[in-house]
Amino acid sequence: MLKTSIWMLLAFASALMPALAWAAPRLEKAIFAGGCFWCMQPPFEKIAGVTEVLSGYIGGTGANPTYENYAAYGYVEAVAVTFDPKKVTYEQLLEVFWQQIDPTDAGGQFVDKGPQYRSAIFYLTSGQKQAAETSKAALAKSGRFNRPLVTEVLPATVFYPAEAYHQDYHKKNPVSYNNYRSHAGRDQFLQKIWERDKKPTASAPLSCPLPGQKLSPRQFAVTQKNGTEPAFNNEYWNNHREGIYVDIVSGEVLFSSNDKYDSGTGWPSFSRPLESENLVEVPDHSLTSPRTEVRSKTGNSHLGHVFPDGPRPTGLRYCMNSAALRFIPKDDLEKAGYGKYRKDFK
C-alpha cells in the first residue's frame, strides 16, 4: 500500500512539473559596462521586470579576477541584469544604459579613467547583438552627441560577480556612495544631455515601466507643473491597503504603506521613504515661508514636500500628492515587477 502511494505521488509530481515550468517566468540576462559599477546598479534595479542586478568583471583573461587585479588582466567593471522580457524588453534596457554613460569617451567614464572603466555592451545572443548595434546607430544618427560614439558592442565572455561588499554599495554605504556620485561628474553630464527628454506632455505616453499609460490633466499639472491637488479630494489620502507607492511617471519605488500615517492634512503622508535614493530634495521659496520640495530622481516628477513635524522616529512628514503616485497592492507586487518588496508585508 505504501509503495503504491509513493508511486502515485511521483506520478502526480511528474504531471505537475510541466505546468510549473510553464508558469515560471522565462528570465534573460543583459550585461552592460558603464564605468563604476556602483553607479550602474541603481538605475536598472528601479525598472519593473528586473529581478537582479549584479556588479562584476568581464572581458579579461584568467579566471576569478578580484578588485585588486581585474584591471591588470584586462577586465572591465560591468553589471549583469536579469530581467523578465514579458515586463521589460532588452531594447528598453538599452535605452536605460545609454542614459547612464558618456558613449563618446574612450578613456573611461567621467572621473574614472582607464580601460577598466570603458563603456561596452556585451551581447549574449545574436538578437541582443542586432538590437545593440541598431540602438547605437540610432543614437549616433540622432545628433544628440557632437562626437563619435565609441561604446563597443562585444560578445559576452564569462561574467565574474564582484566581491560582496561591492553589491548594492549604494544601499550599504549611502554616505560614501552619494559623496562619490556627487563629485564624479556623471549626474551633471547626464542632466545636461537628457534632461530635456524627461518630462512627458499631457497626452504623450509615459516611459518604461508604464508603457502606454497617459497622464491625466491632474497628474500632468502636479508632476510637471509643480501643482498641488485638493486636500481630502485625492485618491490615496485615506488609502489603508498594504503595498508600495511608485512614481506615476517613471515607476521608481518611493514609499511603503508600512510608513504611511494619517497626518490629518488630507494628503497621503509618510514618515520616511522606502527608497531614499529615488528622492531629490530641493529648496522651495515659492511661498512666504521656505519649504523643501520632494521630486523623483529619474522621473523628475514633483511629488510634494517634506516637513519636520512628523512622528517618531524620523520626525518627518513626507506630504505627497496622490496624482504623482501609483499604488501597487502587496498581492500585485510580483505581477507588477516589484516582487522583492513582497517580503515587507505579512
Catalytic residue annotation: 36, 319
Phi, then psi, of 5 in degrees rounded to 5: -65, -40
- Distance between CA atoms of 9 and 198, rounded to whole angstroms? 55
SS3 state of residue 103: coil
SS3 state of residue 239? coil
Biggest CA-to-CA distance, the chain: 84
Task: For residues 136 and 95, give the distance between their C-alpha atoms in angstroms, rounded to a whole number.
Answer: 10
Question: How many Cβ atoms are within 10 Å of 65's Cβ, its own excluded?
Answer: 21
Amino acid at 256: S
Which amino acid makes up residue 317?
R
Within the chain, how many helices (H) and strands (E) appear? Answer: 9, 17
Chain-centroid distance, C-alpha 47: 4
The closest of 335, 343, 169, 178 to 256, measured between CA atoms, is: 343
Residues 172, 176, 178, 183, CA torsion sign: negative
The conformational region for residue 18 under phi > 0 = left, psi -120 to 50 = alpha, else beta, is alpha
Region of residue 62 (left: phi > 0; alpha: psi -120 to 50; beta: else): left
